[in-house]
Amino acid sequence: MPHAIELIGASKKYGKFEALKNVSFAIERGSLVAMLGPNGAGKTTSINLMLGLRRPTAGKALIFGNDPRRIATRRRFGAMLQESGVPQLLKVTELVELFRSYYPKPLPAAQVVKLVGLEEKAGTLVKDLSGGQTQRLYFALAICGDPEVLFLDEPTVGMDVEGRRIFLRAIRNFAAGGKTVLLTTHYLEEADELAERILVIDKGNLIADGSPQEIKSRVAGSKISFTSAAPLDPAALNGLPVSASDVSDHRVTLMTNDPQVVLRELFRRNVDMSNLEVRGADLEEAFLSLTGGG
């Protein structure tokens, strides 16, 4: 059985600039995968190849083993891109009904509107929606055809906390039906919360591929953080076996392979500590370590 999504030795050049460099990966059906990378890393280029919006300079992009530009293949996937535009003077339900008409077996309009949490705005003109509500509408348009594969490119940009919470729940509910979801995001806590697998792209190369726990395990050591009663003099950390430190006024964060040694020495030096926390590296630290961002 062919993979849901596949890049095979995919490269993409724009003139002399190579945005994607011989990238290969396969995503199984029913997976929820996050693609991470700094700005300009090649995430959006990868999405465009998989959607058939761009042709690879070399290699292949396949959806269910087929060319994504084929009409029959396009009917099997939906996409929510960063740049979207829809008629502003249509109502939410009118727009959903319009997009449903493009697919052979769409979801019921009422089900789509409920899934994205826009029941109370069903009769509202698009121009009167808030930014977060508009993002949820774009999500509704991406799923109204009941796609087997869903692409989400930075879907929660500009959303407030409540809007993002509703949106993430909608993604989980949609994926729970056995759908394949590939999303890009700059919010690493979203990737950690949602994804069962993470792809990290940097400078056009695929540099990491694994579960969130596997990605985090690539950063050795522990993170010690605490609050000091008075701003800590950085000299108080001299000689400690730490690989990185951040002293911001009263808050101190340390990365170390020897947390017991560091804590014992801090206590010996009578460093005042409250709200002390020791834990493994999180996804953000792993991401920064992999991409050279910190």
Tell me the per-residue pLDDT of 181-192, one tens digit each, with 9 for 90 and over: 999 988 888 898
Residue 82 and residue 170 in one domain: yes
Domains: count for the chain = 2
Whole-Å CA distances, 97 to 39, 84, 171, 249: 35, 17, 21, 54
| 3-state SS record for 218-256 | CCCCEEEEEECCCCCCHHHHCCCCEEEEEEECCEEEEEE
**Domain limit, last residue, from 150, 183, 216:** 216
113 and 58 inside one domain: yes
pLDDT in tens, 186-224: 888 889 889 999 999 999 999 999 999 888 877 767 889
Q: Residue 205: which residues within 8 A CB-CB, separation 6 or more?
A: 21, 23, 42
pLDDT score of 275: 93
Q: Which domain holds residue 259?
A: 222-291
Q: Which of 179, 196, 216 is the last residue of a domain?
A: 216
Same domain for 180 and 226, yes or no, is no
**Could you say which of 216, 243, 267 is where a domain stops?**
216
How many CB atoms lie under 10 A from the CB of residue 190?
19
Residue 55 and residue 181 share a domain: yes
CATH code, 74: 3.40.50.300
Q: What is the DSSP letter of 203?
A: T
Question: What is the reported pLDDT for 76?
Answer: 94
Percent of the chain topping pLDDT 70: 98
Q: Could you tell me if 32 and 98 lie in one domain?
A: yes
CB atoms within 10 A of CB 149: 23
Whose structure tokens read 């929660």? 156
pTM for the predicted model, two decimal places? 0.80
Same domain, 234 and 148: no
Mean pLDDT of the chain, nearest integer: 90
CB 187 within 8 A of CB 162: no
Specify whether 212 is located in the same domain as 230: no
pLDDT at 115 exceeding the cut of 70: yes
Q: pLDDT (tens digit, 9 = 90+) per residue, 74-101? A: 999 999 987 677 888 999 999 999 999 9
Asked if residue 85 and residue 186 are part of one domain, the reply reads yes
The answer to whether residues 77 and 200 belong to one domain is yes
Task: Please report which confidence band the pLDDT of residue 118 belongs to, taking 50, 70 and 90 as the band edges.
Answer: very high
Report the Cα 149 to chain-centroid distance in Å. Answer: 16
Say yes or no: 79 and 193 in one domain.
Answer: yes
CATH number at residue 277: 3.30.70
Angle, nearest 10°, between helix axes 92-100 and 131-143?
20
Judgement on whether residues 195 and 283 belong to the same structural domain of the protein? no
Distance CA 191, CA 199 (A): 10
Judge if 212 and 226 occupy the same domain. Answer: no
